[in-house]
């Protein structure tokens, strides 16, 4: 089964019908047959931007059904995330993005669903590998 990493932007767009990206994100999700992977920093950012219980309940339901996997990060992984942030301090890279970069390194998943495309076009994985960005038409 294919897997993609999910950044905050698509989750926010899915939660708000008024969001500019809503329709495209809904279409993508309706056609995608695979695993969505995200992190607690992404969910924290999401909850800050979309502060509605219904949206958080929807994410929780996705996770419970297995449609959204939340990659748990422990103390040791936090060091790697902070290292990524230091490496891209000139951008700067936020905690949510750094957590996804780290998960890409750990899982081998290089495809990312993000609205902030410029960031993930800039970030490089080990061996200078690039992220593949999900196309949303």
pLDDT in tens, 65-111: 878 899 988 888 999 999 999 999 998 899 999 999 999 999 999 99
Q: Which residues, other chains included, contact 95 with Cβ-Cβ below 8 Å and sequence gap of 6+?
A: 41, 45, 81, 85
Rounded Cα gap, residues 25 and 39, in angstroms? 19
What is the tens place of the pLDDT at every residue in 37-63?
999 999 999 999 987 888 888 888 888
Rounded Cα gap, residues 45 and 37, in angstroms? 15
CATH number of 3-133: 3.40.50.1010
Q: Which residues, other chains included, contact 79 with Cβ-Cβ below 8 Å and sequence gap of 6+?
A: none
Name the pTM for this structure: 0.92
Question: Structure tokens of 94?
Answer: 């936020």
H/E stretch holding 24 reads helix 22-31
β-pair type (35-39, 68-71): parallel
């Amino acid at each position: 089964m294919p897997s993609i990493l999910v950044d905050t932007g698509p989750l926010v767009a899915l939660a708000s019908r008024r969001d500019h990206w809503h329709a495209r994100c809904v279409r993508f999700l309706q056609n995608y047959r695979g695993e969505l992977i995200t992190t607690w920093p992404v969910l924290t950012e999401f909850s800050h931007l979309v502060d509605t219980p219904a949206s958080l309940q929807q994410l929780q339901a996705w996770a419970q059904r297995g449609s959204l996997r939340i990659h748990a990060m422990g103390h040791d992984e936090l060091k790697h995330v902070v290292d990524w942030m230091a490496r891209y301090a000139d951008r700067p890279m936020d905690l949510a993005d750094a957590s996804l970069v780290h998960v890409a390194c750990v899982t081998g998943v290089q495809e990312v669903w993000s609205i902030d495309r410029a960031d993930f076009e800039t970030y490089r994985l080990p061996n200078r590998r690039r992220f593949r960005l999900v196309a949303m038409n």
